[in-house]
Amino acid sequence: MSQQIELIATTAFGLEAVVARELKALGYAEQTVEDGRVAIAADLSAICRCNLWLRSADRVLVKMAEFEADDFGLLFDRTNELPWADWIPVDGAFPVRGKSVKSQLHSVPDCQKLVKKAIVEKLKESYGDTWFEESGAVFAVDVALLRNRVTISLDTSGAGLHKRGYRRLTGQAPLRETLVAALVQLSYWNADRHLLDPFCGTGTIPIEAALIGRNLAPGRGRQFAAEQWPLLGETVWRQAREEAEDLAEHDRELQIIGTDIDDNALSQARYHAREAGVEQGIHFQQRDFADLSSSRKYGCLITNPPYGQRVGEVAEAVELYRQMPAVLAPLETWSIYVLTSHPDFERLIGRQAGRRRKLYNGKLACTYFQFPGPRPPRVVEKPE
């Protein structure tokens, strides 16, 4: 696996630093960070490890080329020059996806057709065939144009990385798992501290925290497009999965609580926790937010309360936010983290956040309000 390639981990805007930190933890310290993506140079095994381990990235792409093109001739020629047969076998399927932002080549369908034709012509030359059935493994080609700068990549992930495989039931307005993992990683929480989500819904925040706390690879329960790629083979994937299992801490004690007023949502949360393999690490209970209480100290409350986006729900959300100061007052040593799109959140709770971070819940612009609490006292071990 010594062949060097360039990988791109795509991200939602605002999460680039989180993904960069995850990649560094995997050993990929040399990075190029841009809006919506983090690029690294690595060997082929990184395809497997990044797909298995990245918690907040959207996809992992192999960058085939990056070049300037302001006309279709240049786009065709530069695409046709690439070593497509090194990656795509004679029976490989290679659908082309595209996007164009502020580029002279603004017609995405035309760009897709041209890139597809350029790849076909190159494969004809490489394999001596005139027709490709595309009945085998999928090698999705991404063509991204930004101000006449073209990036051509192969998608190694298949389904987006937010699809861990455990969330089979869908509740109301769920957050993507990748965003939730970022919320946890942007907090002060670690596996030695208590975590509470008082609006846990179908359980994504507690579950993603449990996966982090037990060092469980988020992709360990699913398959990826590149698992079918001949260039990689079964051995490198098996080794990556064995590494993930060796690093897992299945028996790590966790102190994670998820509460919600909706018993049906809690039933789904328990099911999802079982599917994720962290059922024993989380305690779910039915409780109204107004009845929230905890005798624990120095915990972290991470939550995504109702936003009031729908007609008729705005007043309910406003009333909920106004309750927060009184309900959360007893948690004076806790760190509080709230994701919401409500523009007046700080005014309604009568408190300025220590930190704010602009994030996106899908296409909805939100703010992650962070109210760091005091540091827990250091535990000094007594000499024996």
Q: Which residues contact 351 (CB under 8 A, 6 or more apart)?
A: 325, 371
Q: CATH 3.30.2130.30 in the chain, residues? A: 4-155
What DSSP character marks residue 373? -
Q: How many CB atoms lie within 10 A of CB 116?
A: 17
Write down the number of H helices and E strands in the chain: 10, 14
How many C-beta atoms surround the C-beta of residue 159 within 10 A? 14
The number of angstroms, rounded, from the C-alpha of 68 to the middle of its chain's C-alpha atoms is 30
Rounded CA gap, 10 and 368, in Å? 20
Predicted pLDDT at 286: 98
Dihedral (CA of 112, 116, 117, 122) sign? positive
**Is the separation of the CB atoms in 208 and 55 below 8 Å?**
yes
Is the confidence at residue 75, as pLDDT, over 60?
yes
Read off the pLDDT band of 2 (50, 70, 90): low
Please state which architecture CATH assigns to domain 4-155: 2-Layer Sandwich (3.30)
pLDDT digits (tens, 9 = 90+) for 104-156: 999 999 999 999 999 999 999 999 998 999 999 999 999 999 999 999 999 99
User: Which part of the chain is CATH 3.40.50.150?
Assistant: 177-218+249-371
Percent with pLDDT over 90 in the chain:
91
Sheet holding 31-34, edge to edge: 31-34, 37-43, 4-10, 59-68, 149-155, 141-146, 96-101
H-helix or E-strand containing 245?
helix 233-247
What is the mean pLDDT of the segment spanning 275-291? 96
Give φ, ψ of 43 to 5 degrees.
-95, 180
CA separation, residue 27 to residues 56, 231, 276, 294, 316 (Å): 17, 23, 26, 39, 46
pLDDT digits (tens, 9 = 90+) for 319-328: 999 999 999 9
Task: Quote the mean pLDDT of the chain.
Answer: 94
- Hey, what are 362's tokens? 């899908």
382: number of CA atoms within 13 Å, CB side?
Answer: 1
3-state secondary structure of 4: strand
Q: What distance separates the 2 farthest-apart alpha carbons in the chain?
A: 78
| Stretch 173-192: mean pLDDT | 94
pLDDT band at 378 (very low <50, low <70, confident <90, very high): confident
Q: pLDDT-derived band of residue 383, with 50, 70 and 90 as boundaries?
A: low
pLDDT at 313 exceeding the cut of 80:
no
The hierarchical CATH code for the domain 177-218+249-371 is: 3.40.50.150
Task: Produce one character per residue of 338-347: b if its CB has 16 or more CB atoms within 10 Å, e if not.
Answer: bbbbbeebbe
8 Å CB contact between 299 and 334: yes
Query: What is the C-alpha to C-alpha distance for residues 86 and 93, in angstroms, rounded to an integer?
Result: 14
* pLDDT(161) > 90: yes
The mean pLDDT value for 258-273 works out to: 96
Give tens-digit pLDDT for 230-255.
Answer: 999 899 999 999 999 999 999 999 99
Percent of the chain at pLDDT above 70? 96
Q: Compare 173 and 32 and report the one with higher pLDDT.
A: 32
pTM of the model: 0.94
When pLDDT is averaged across residues 257-271 and rounded to a whole number, the result is: 96
Give the tens place of pLDDT for each residue, 291-301.
999 999 999 99
User: Is the pLDDT at 259 greater than 90, yes or no?
Assistant: yes
Angle at 372 between CA 367 and CA 373, to 5 degrees: 150
Q: How many C-beta atoms lie closer than 10 Å to residue 238's C-beta?
A: 11
Q: Of 197, 202, 186, whose CA–CA distance to 304 is shortest? A: 197
Ordered alpha helix ranges (H), 70-193? 72-80, 108-127, 177-185
DSSP strands (E only) in the chain? 4-10, 31-34, 37-43, 59-68, 96-101, 141-146, 149-155, 195-197, 256-260, 282-286, 300-303, 335-340, 355-361, 364-371
- CA distances 75 to 88, 126, 143, Å, are 20, 20, 10
What's the pLDDT at 3?
85
Q: Note the pLDDT of residue 169.
A: 75
Length of the chain: 384
Residue 270: is its pLDDT beyond 90?
A: yes
Report which of 143, 142, 141, 149 is spatially closest to residue 70, judged by C-alpha positions.
149
Contact assessment for residue 149 and residue 37, using Cβ atoms and an 8 Å cutoff: no
pLDDT 10s digits, 325-343: 999 999 999 999 999 999 9
Query: Within 10 Å of residue 361's Cβ, how many Cβ atoms?
Result: 19
